[in-house]
Amino acid sequence: MPEDGRETDVVRRDRFSGGPARGFLSSLAADERLFEADLAVDRAHVVMLEEQGIVDEGDAAAILGALDAVEEAGHGALPDGEDVHAAIETAVIERVGDRGGRMHTARSRNDEVAACIRYRLREDLLAAAEATLEAREVLAAVASEHAGTVMPGYTHLQPAQPTTVGHFLLSYESALARDADRLFDAYGRTNRSPLGAAAFAGTPFDVDRERTAELLGFDGVVENSMDAASARDFLVETTAAVAALATTLSGLAEDLVGLASRGYVELSDDYASTSSIMPQKKNPDTMELVRASAGDASAGLNALLTILKGLPRAYNRDLQRAHPHAFDAIDAVTEATTVAAGAVATADWDAEALAAAAGEGFATATGVADLLAMRGVPFRTAHEVVAVAAERAGGGTDGTATRCDSPDYEALDAAAREVLGEPLDVHVDRADVEAALDPEASVASRDSLGGPAPDALDGAMGRVEEGLEADEERLQTRRDALETAAYRLREEVDRRV
């Protein structure tokens, strides 16, 4: 370098030539997840090439045997390469010579990579769906055990109306059922084969795209070759479904953290920790981490959308950075789903404390207003009667009952005389009013479809069980199809090796 400290052109070129750019391009280390997928895609492609007479039997047998050897050696034994796909091809050529290069006939890394991502991602989608089903089963089981456990319900974090632990937990089961639907939907659009699209413009070879799709257990092909090689919307759909699932889990986790802080539920020691300095504390740490997983998923979705936004057709190297975001998100949220299920399954609910809190803040106020409305008083007028009583019992100046005690019959009667100009018993019996003020009776009265009353909850439980059985069948059908395809592909390979 000259005395003035400036680099010469030669020094600068030496410093920036060679290794750094090649390393930046390589995804080999990150591709370990796709190792088995690439082997399967290679095998299916070679079997098809041999069946179509594009590669002869001897070369096909040699290549398939080399792929078995590569699999046995493992990802760690692969030679250096830009990615796992190129490294496997190099490893095959090292074993059988130049004829190993016939493996890449009539395809590009573009359609090969897209096929491998779909092949692996569908397994992860089924794993996420299975974790979601298990969580729903746990929620349903605990809900059944606590169908009659009255608890406070909240809106805006204020005491609102009494409900039950069973009703509360089934609300999350319902949300997770929709999350499972989204995962299954994403699976359906992921499980299509792009193989045979080549770089993007198809191939002049007489390939059988439907055959490779069949051998790999795909439900069909992505027909347009340009779309097949470049499309990554299935990653967006998957990550969006996972983000929705994570959002549901985050809500459940937040509720458990809040209920635990009030002493209404206690998490098992396996799902909590003690403070490092305050020995009296038991922290719901796992639920806080479950809550945070929504950030992982939404960040992955945003990253994907940003990468894909405005990409021209067909293939662009930007896509190398796309699929890791989907895989990271689905890993984080699947684990969080399992942890959330475990926390619910092992938690202890304090029925006595919940029952005592269920009527706090005049939480049965709506029930009293409903009772008056059912006896012919216009609901808005009934609402005013109860609001006046709530205000006198210590509620807000606007008639709200944020922190007031429940007024007794006499207070409600006085409010009725003021608002209606007549005693309360003109419209309702005292016994009915006192029943409406009782949290347990209030819950029992709410027997409309989807409500917390025992009969309504029993009906809901039956439908939940039916939904779980249907989704378990959906999951098993897809798993069986993949296992059957893998078995048949192995048979085809074994016949040739």
Separation of first and last alpha carbons in the chain: 60
Active site residue 146: no
Tell me the residue type at 390. Answer: A
What is the token pair recorded at 378?
A: 């216009």
What is the distance of C-alpha 58 from the center of its chain?
46
Tell which residue, 316, 309, 322, has the closest CA to residue 239. 322
Instruction: Out of 17, 156, 276, 448, pick the active-site residue.
Output: 156
Q: Are strands 282-283 and 273-274 parallel, antiparallel or unpaired?
A: antiparallel
Residue 347: DSSP 8-state: -
d(CA 242, CA 245): 5
Output helix, strand, coil percentages for the chain, rounded to the nearest 5. 70, 5, 25
Residue that has been written with the tokens 């889990």 in this structure = 249
8 Å CB contact between 162 and 441: no
Dihedral over Cα of 356, 352, 262, 335: its sign? negative
Tell which residue, 339, 248, 354, 244, has the closest CA to residue 298. 244
Residue that has been written with the tokens 């429940």 in this structure = 406
Residue that has been written with the tokens 């949300």 in this structure = 175
Active site residue 275: yes
- Phi, psi (deg, nearest 5) at residue 265: -140, 145
Could you give the dihedral angle defined by the CA atoms of residues 419, 425, 430 and 433, in that order, rounded to the nearest 10 degrees?
-40
Tell which residue, 357, 424, 443, has the closest CA to residue 385. 424
Instruction: Out of 27, 174, 275, 448, pick the active-site residue.
Output: 275
Determine if the peptide bond prior to 365 is cis (ω within 30°): no
What is the token pair recorded at 41?
A: 């895609």
What is the token pair recorded at 447?
A: 């027997």
Dihedral over Cα of 207, 210, 212, 213: its sign? positive
Could you give the dihedral angle defined by the CA atoms of residues 4, 5, 10 and 14, in that order, rounded to the nearest 10 degrees?
170
Catalytic positions, written as ranges: 156, 275
